[in-house]
Structure 1
Amino acid sequence: MDDLETTILEARKAVEAASNDDPDWSNLLATLAVRLGDKCTATKDRDHLEEAIRICREAVDATESDHADRINRLIFLVYLLNDKFMLAGEMDDLDESISVAQCAVAEMPEGHPQFLIGLTTLSHRLRDKFARIGAAPDLEKAIAASSQALEAMPDNHQDRPEQLGELSNLLASRYSSTGAMEDLERAIQMVKNGVDSMGHGNDSQKPLFLQHLGGLLGLKSLRTGSLADLEEGIRVVGEAVAMPLSGNDNRGVILNALGHLLASRYAVTGALADLNEAISLTRQTVDTPCHNQTVLSQRLGNLAVQLQQRFLRTKAAADLEESSQLSKRAMEMLPDDHPDQSRHQHDLGIKLARKFTITNNMADLDEGIRSIRLALEGMPHDHSNRAVYLHSLANGLIQKGSETFEPTDVNEWIASWGRAPRRLCSEQNRGRALHQPNAPTLCRIQACISLLSINPDWKESLKAAKLVMALLPRLTPRSLDNEDRQNSLSEIAGLASDAAAVAIQCEDVAAALDLLEQAQGLLGASLEEIRTDVLDLREALRRYDAGKEFDKLVEHVRQLPNFNDFLRAPGMAAMQDATDRGPIAIVNASVIHCDAILILQDRIQTISLTGLSLHTIEEKVLIGDRGSPEVLEWLWDTVTGPVLDALGFSQPLSEDDEWPHIWWIPTGLLRQFPLHAAGYHRERRTEAVIDRVMSSYGSSVKAILRGRERHVSPKGATNAILVAMEHTPARSNLPFADAEIKVVSSLCASMGLNVVEPHRLKEEVMTGLQSSMIFHFAGHGSTNQDDPLESFLCLEDVRSNPLRVADLLSLNLKENPPFLAYLSACGTSRIQQERHMDESMHLVSACQLAGFRHVVGTLWEVNDEICVEMARITYEGIRDGKMTDESVCRGLHAAIRRLRDSWLDELQREGSNREDMLDMLGRDASLAIIQKFRKAPSPSWVPFVHYGV
């Protein structure tokens, strides 16, 4: 320091001894400015810094425009001004540094030795201003300067990795503001290029690059729902943590990033260990000394969010209280006009609303709502997070409205929810692509779900529903794994039903059908559309690229004559054409209203199911017995009876009559109920579905139409693949499975089919399916509640290699589609999780998607012994019907009716015995027996269902 003081003193004396007309005047000033700058770097003394800036300004003013050192002096002045801004936070200093940097760049020809430094310096200062103010033009200028610097930089330049990282950061910032996915993709690719250009871990900056890459992958996962991207992000940041790091600041940056990613994974998987580790890591970064108040504020905000997440899981009030205090600390560290203030205000508002649920103190909720309003006031109207904040404001207002019953709260709530769909509408009017809106897709969709349930203006609600339903494919892009798609769709359970109910209230049945078809079976539809079209493409490209190429191809096909509806929901005329074999009844249950849409060749009509409510359906599901006589009678009264009466099927038929055929398409929770078996059976009345019509099911009208497009070739396979699993590892024995296969084998042989009983192993069965006409499985099935695509049939190698729904989907049987899959197993068409009810993705529908024309399955566990008789009668019907399409449904219908009659005969015998017993017993015992009878289990014939054409 003494040497530095000496050089400063000498420089001062030299300046004092010279005059401003001295030829060396500018050099003397510049030397003093540099020496003072060196001292400022060492001492952080503001007075010396201001003197250095003043003298450097004089040096620049005294330097001729063609002087060799003018550019260096301009750039040095930029550095000094930036140091002062970092020390004092005054915007005038930052603005002046930008002006000086722009002047330096403007005065340099492109080949100037300092050209790259000038551009990068300008880019950095514009970046700092954007971070401070949040004005988009500053970010655009920063990106332009950084891009120009990168273009002018040779590939082997030592600073190229750093420049790639800088431009990647800027593009990521623009993505965060606009939601433009191409910016995020470019940012990821640039930082990857930067890492690759560093060699094998020798560069000291590599840990920070890996941290940045991990953060970008986390952003992509948040946007697309891809768990694979999130896992990769955690992996690369973990790799950065393990590398040697220079300085506590860098370590804090990396640990903060890892904590954020682990918290994101917790939000997807629910693994509390991830959240606890995230909190621990982020605490370390908060406790690490940090001179940058903005960075420390961000870390405090991250820790606050993570503690709030843990509160929601554990209900520990201490976490919520600490979270609120941290949010307040984060805000106090920043100027009032800092862009991050909006985020912290929003997060604090959420926490205060949560706190209200504990304290019941309205002041907490009012303060929370006020904080969210302040967050909205402080952010640009086109910011990508604005819809999220409106979402939160609406939640707070409805929470208050439910407590105070103030109409003003509810009206503002409706307005808040409504603004997100209206923003989407304005974007569409400007011609912006639906797949690139700047607000999170899921947030807009969730806003619409709530809006539909409360907004009394049905027409406005329908407009919002149509716009938001158009976004559904964005939740399941072809770039996602099936599990990720399923998770995304589970977040919007009920949307299609609510949207259709609103359309029906508007008397727009065409819109109701279109909305249902857009959503029902969305995952299955997208899987079917891509299986044969992009298999080769996916082998060569990453999933995201394959998805983009396929989307482009679809749009190209739709431009061709007569292909404008390619891969879209079928139109009204096509739907009516689908009823040439019988009417289709779509039963829609919504919190708004319950209705049936009846599609016939000459008309499409709706009927109001006034006796049905979503609340009652939910109660029946909770009780669990969905096939009891009481439930079957309730289904008749509320659903199937009104539907059949409206269709004119009001009289019972005899076995030899020409039976009408109806296709049922239930929505949501109604998928769990046996509509085909509804009726008053115990009294042998004529009010029963199976006494009036034959029933089949479909997941959507489109699925029915698509199935009919696949014709069984007369020259196709004639194999009947039969599998009996009497003994299954870790499952109960099925003593009648072999007997069932023996019966089916005999009947298949009588139809001229080649009976094959493969080894009961997954690969053997999969191979057999590819050359089969009939596949009959007698054994256990297992439903995965979290991911229906992981449901499976139980073979001998079930523990190591189960035959899953996903495996069935991987089969490409459409060139030679098989005729029938008969899954005589437990719950092959069951969906247990309510959040998956809109998807109907189970073992039965998987066989349909794989290419089977008809599928017979069960809604729940079935009696092993009755399966033998059910199969025998069904296959006799198929044989006698010459294996026509109708023969499958007719055969199963005959089997169900015959076994129903046998059940009734058994009930009658039990009733006679019971009457004799009641005469012998007292009143109390008699009542107990009657009660036991009323609670008898579901009849065994009820759960068998047919899906097909």
Structure 2
Amino acid sequence: MTSAPRPEAAAAHTAERRMALAREWDRLIEEIHGLDGFQDFLAPRLGTLLPTARSGPVVVLNTSRWRCDALVVTTGGVQAVPLPRLTVESIAERTVTHLEALQEVELAVHDLQTARLEYGRGEPMSAAARHRSRAMVALHRALERRETTLVSLLRWLWDTVAEPVLGFLGFVEPPGGDTAAWPRLWWCPTGLLTLLPVHGAGYHDGSRRTVLDRVVSSYTPTLRVLAEARRPLGSRPDDERLLIVSLPDDPDQAPLTDVARERELLLSLFPDRHTLLEGADATVQAVRSQLPRHRWVHFSCHGGQDLLDPSRGGLALHGGDVLRITDFGAQRHRGEFAFLSACQTATGVATLPDETITLAAAMHYTGYRQVIGTLWSVYDDIAADVATAVYSDLTSTGRFEPARSARALHTAVRALRDDRRLAPGVWTPFTHTGP
């Protein structure tokens, strides 16, 4: 019989094996760096990334159990702004509370939908009516809790993250005037901060102590991706068309009554430059086939993100099929603009928060420069209102100009807050990713 190896011998063997693999890794990386065009593979030089900040600073939010900092990237270099009031423990606590409040609303909406279906199917009227009444009360309470939680979260994000960063950059007063002249700022959160609405941070009580009143915000998954998105797209007039994916009804979802309004708007703005996939034509296969042929795409449908299994997140299309995040990662696109008028298209993943696995980020990674998405579920009439405002802005010169999408979205969101005085939970979800 052969005796089992002694523990110290096994440990030594494991250590030697790891060292050998590390040496092999270093050798392979060095070999790759010697290939033409791969000099920065997995190790980009700082000088190649600084130009990404030529239109405005990029703020990388770095968190650890030892300390948290904002790494402010400008064309002149990188400076660390300490965030002493921010800790990984407080981030985790706030994130859990935030996600629980969002989930409570989702469950309440689903319960109300079920109650309405029971009422419509002719279930015993008294029982169905009681169920519907209870569901409506539960949804009202869930929405109240979400708003209370969100207001507290946005103020905390201002105190711990946004105010120190904006103060360091000198953005201490509302710029005033036309939004076209406002400063731009890109947020690059890491860890659990990827799940939180940093762009909405502030005291939205008229004091103007908010990110929304100081800068036009965008997100970027990484500096390298932002650099890639700034490269010239090239001219191909044949693909300067808008793909419209419109799915107002889904048997397993609540009807989206305002999808028709979005569709009519887009048909009027792009009368000769569109492809419409609607209802039964809006299949996963059809969408995947048409995406490479269009520079712009607009989705009006249900969407979702599974925080525990990111591969299941995506856009709900005809027949109950889902255009998943992995579908976009399977090929490169030469897209310029994507508007995701669907729920939870920019939501991160709790188990892998540093992985870029949201639908909005996946589309950005695979070649779509400008992506507008949502962090959580939105009312379809509000989504239609935002789409109307954004597209009207981007076509106001007589031609479609997606490069202005961040400012157009910023203006639309401020109008929801200031002109219509809607609660933060209504307008905070909308985000822009890209240059």
Please tell me whether residue 844 in structure 1 is matched to residue 367 in structure 2: no
TM-superposed CA distance for 1:636, in Å, is 1.0
Instruction: Tell whether the 8 Å contact from 1:743 to 1:868 is kept in structure 2 after alignment.
Output: no
In structure 2, the residue matched to 1:679 is 202
Provide the rounded CA distance (Å) in 2 between the counterparts of 1:667 and 1:861. Answer: 22
TM-superposed CA distance for 1:939, in Å, is 2.6
Please tell me whether residue 892 in structure 1 is matched to residue 409 in structure 2: yes
Please tell me whether residue 610 in structure 1 is matched to residue 133 in structure 2: no
Deviation track 1:89-113 (CA, whole Å, cap 9, x = no partner) reads: xxxxxxxxxxxxxxxxxxxxxxxxx
Mark the CA change 1:938 to 1:891 in structure 2 (over 3 Å): closer, same or farther: closer
Provide the rounded CA distance (Å) in 2 between the counterparts of 1:644 and 1:666. Answer: 15
Instruction: Tell whether the 8 Å contact from 2:62 to 2:190 is kept in structure 1 after alignment.
Output: yes
Instruction: Tell whether the 8 Å contact from 1:719 to 1:756 is kept in structure 2 after alignment.
Output: no
> Percent identity between the aligned chains?
30
Which amino acid letter does the alignment assign opposite residue 353 of structure 2?
A: M
Which amino acid letter does the alignment assign opposite residue 335 of structure 2?
A: P
Which amino acid letter does the alignment assign opposite residue 653 of structure 1?
A: P
In structure 1, the residue matched to 2:139 is none
Residue from 802, 805, 808 that aligns with 2:325: 805
Which amino acid letter does the alignment assign opposite residue 607 of structure 1?
A: V
Residue from 721, 738, 748 that aligns with 2:260: 738
In structure 2, the residue matched to 1:161 is none
Deviation track 1:244-291 (CA, whole Å, cap 9, x = no partner) reads: xxxxxxxxxxxxxxxxxxxxxxxxxxxxxxxxxxxxxxxxxxxxxxxx
Provide the rounded CA distance (Å) in 2 between the counterparts of 1:555 and 1:610. Answer: 38
In structure 1, the residue matched to 2:427 is 941
Instruction: Tell whether the 8 Å contact from 2:337 to 2:402 is kept in structure 1 after alignment.
Output: no
Segments of 5+ residues of structure 2 without an aligned counterpart are 102-145
Instruction: Tell whether the 8 Å contact from 1:569 to 1:702 is kept in structure 2 after alignment.
Output: no
Q: TM-score, normalised by structure 2?
A: 0.81
TM-superposed CA distance for 1:380, in Å, is 5.7
In structure 2, the residue matched to 1:823 is 340
In structure 2, the residue matched to 1:543 is none
Other structure's SS at 1:649 match:
coil
In structure 1, the residue matched to 2:115 is none
Instruction: Tell whether the 8 Å contact from 1:748 to 1:755 is kept in structure 2 after alignment.
Output: no
Which amino acid letter does the alignment assign opposite residue 615 of structure 1?
A: E
Deviation track 1:489-545 (CA, whole Å, cap 9, x = no partner) reads: xxxxxxxxxxxxxxxxxxxxxxxxxxxxxxxxxxxxxxxxxxxxxxxxxxxxxxxxx
In structure 2, the residue matched to 1:434 is 22
TM-superposed CA distance for 1:747, in Å, is 2.9
TM-superposed CA distance for 1:713, in Å, is 2.2
Deviation track 1:449-485 (CA, whole Å, cap 9, x = no partner) reads: xxxxxxxxxxxxxxxxxxxxx8xxxxxxxxxxxxxxx
In structure 1, the residue matched to 2:33 is 558
Other structure's SS at 1:434 match:
helix
Provide the rounded CA distance (Å) in 2 between the counterparts of 1:840 and 1:903. Answer: 34
TM-superposed CA distance for 1:899, in Å, is 0.9
More strand by share: 2
Mark the CA change 1:383 to 1:767 in structure 2 (over 3 Å): closer, same or farther: same
In structure 2, the residue matched to 1:238 is none
Mark the CA change 1:641 to 1:886 in structure 2 (over 3 Å): closer, same or farther: farther
TM-superposed CA distance for 1:786, in Å, is 3.5
Segments of 5+ residues of structure 1 without an aligned counterpart are 1-85, 87-131, 133-337, 343-374, 388-422, 438-469, 471-550, 907-936
Which amino acid letter does the alignment assign opposite residue 753 of structure 1?
A: R
Provide the rounded CA distance (Å) in 1 between the counterparts of 2:212 and 2:234. Answer: 28
TM-superposed CA distance for 1:381, in Å, is 6.0
Residue from 657, 662, 668 that aligns with 2:191: 668
Provide the rounded CA distance (Å) in 1 between the counterparts of 2:384 and 2:265. Answer: 7
Instruction: Tell whether the 8 Å contact from 2:339 to 2:371 is kept in structure 1 after alignment.
Output: yes
Mark the CA change 1:767 to 1:622 in structure 2 (over 3 Å): closer, same or farther: same
Deviation track 1:183-206 (CA, whole Å, cap 9, x = no partner) reads: xxxxxxxxxxxxxxxxxxxxxxxx
Considering only CA atoms, is the larger Rg found in Structure 1 or Structure 2? 1
In structure 1, the residue matched to 2:166 is 644
Deviation track 1:622-645 (CA, whole Å, cap 9, x = no partner) reads: 212477222111111111111111
Which amino acid letter does the alignment assign opposite residue 852 of structure 1?
A: Y
Residue from 79, 94, 101 that aligns with 1:620: 94
Instruction: Tell whether the 8 Å contact from 2:244 to 2:274 is kept in structure 1 after alignment.
Output: no
Instruction: Tell whether the 8 Å contact from 1:712 to 1:818 is kept in structure 2 after alignment.
Output: no
Mark the CA change 1:899 to 1:778 in structure 2 (over 3 Å): closer, same or farther: same
Mark the CA change 1:900 to 1:744 in structure 2 (over 3 Å): closer, same or farther: farther
Instruction: Tell whether the 8 Å contact from 2:32 to 2:41 is kept in structure 1 after alignment.
Output: no
In structure 2, the residue matched to 1:719 is 241
Provide the rounded CA distance (Å) in 2 between the counterparts of 1:741 and 1:712. Answer: 28
Instruction: Tell whether the 8 Å contact from 1:830 to 1:859 is kept in structure 2 after alignment.
Output: yes
Provide the rounded CA distance (Å) in 1 between the counterparts of 2:224 and 2:158. Answer: 27
1:196-235 alignment to 2 at 5 Å?
Answer: none
TM-superposed CA distance for 1:724, in Å, is 2.0
Which amino acid letter does the alignment assign opposite residue 299 of structure 2?
A: F
Residue from 390, 396, 402 that aligns with 1:874: 390
Instruction: Tell whether the 8 Å contact from 1:582 to 1:600 is kept in structure 2 after alignment.
Output: yes
Which amino acid letter does the alignment assign opposite residue 849 of structure 1?
A: Y
Provide the rounded CA distance (Å) in 2 between the counterparts of 1:827 and 1:805. Answer: 12
Provide the rounded CA distance (Å) in 2 between the counterparts of 1:872 and 1:824. Answer: 11
TM-superposed CA distance for 1:894, in Å, is 0.8
1:319-718 alignment to 2 at 5 Å?
Answer: 338-340=3-5, 342=6, 375-376=7-8, 379=9, 382-384=12-14, 427=19, 432=20, 434=22, 558-560=33-35, 563=37, 565-624=39-98, 625=101, 628-656=150-178, 658-682=181-205, 684-709=206-231, 711-718=233-240
Provide the rounded CA distance (Å) in 2 between the counterparts of 1:569 and 1:558. Answer: 9
Instruction: Tell whether the 8 Å contact from 1:762 to 1:797 is kept in structure 2 after alignment.
Output: no
Q: TM-score, normalised by structure 1?
A: 0.38
Other structure's SS at 1:818 match:
coil
TM-superposed CA distance for 1:734, in Å, is 1.4
More helix by share: 1
Other structure's SS at 2:395 match:
helix
Residue from 361, 365, 373 that aligns with 1:857: 373
Instruction: Tell whether the 8 Å contact from 1:781 to 1:828 is kept in structure 2 after alignment.
Output: yes
Instruction: Tell whether the 8 Å contact from 1:820 to 1:854 is kept in structure 2 after alignment.
Output: yes
Instruction: Tell whether the 8 Å contact from 2:246 to 2:276 is kept in structure 1 after alignment.
Output: no
TM-superposed CA distance for 1:668, in Å, is 1.0
Deviation track 1:136-176 (CA, whole Å, cap 9, x = no partner) reads: xxxxxxxxxxxxxxxxxxxxxxxxxxxxxxxxxxxxxxxxx
TM-superposed CA distance for 1:660, in Å, is 1.0
TM-superposed CA distance for 1:710, in Å, is 5.3
Report the aligned-residue RMSD: 2.6
Provide the rounded CA distance (Å) in 2 between the counterparts of 1:860 and 1:712. Answer: 34
Instruction: Tell whether the 8 Å contact from 1:710 to 1:853 is kept in structure 2 after alignment.
Output: no
Provide the rounded CA distance (Å) in 2 between the counterparts of 1:637 and 1:570. Answer: 33
User: Aligned residue pairs: how many?
Assistant: 383
TM-superposed CA distance for 1:436, in Å, is 5.1
Provide the rounded CA distance (Å) in 1 between the counterparts of 2:307 and 2:197. Answer: 20
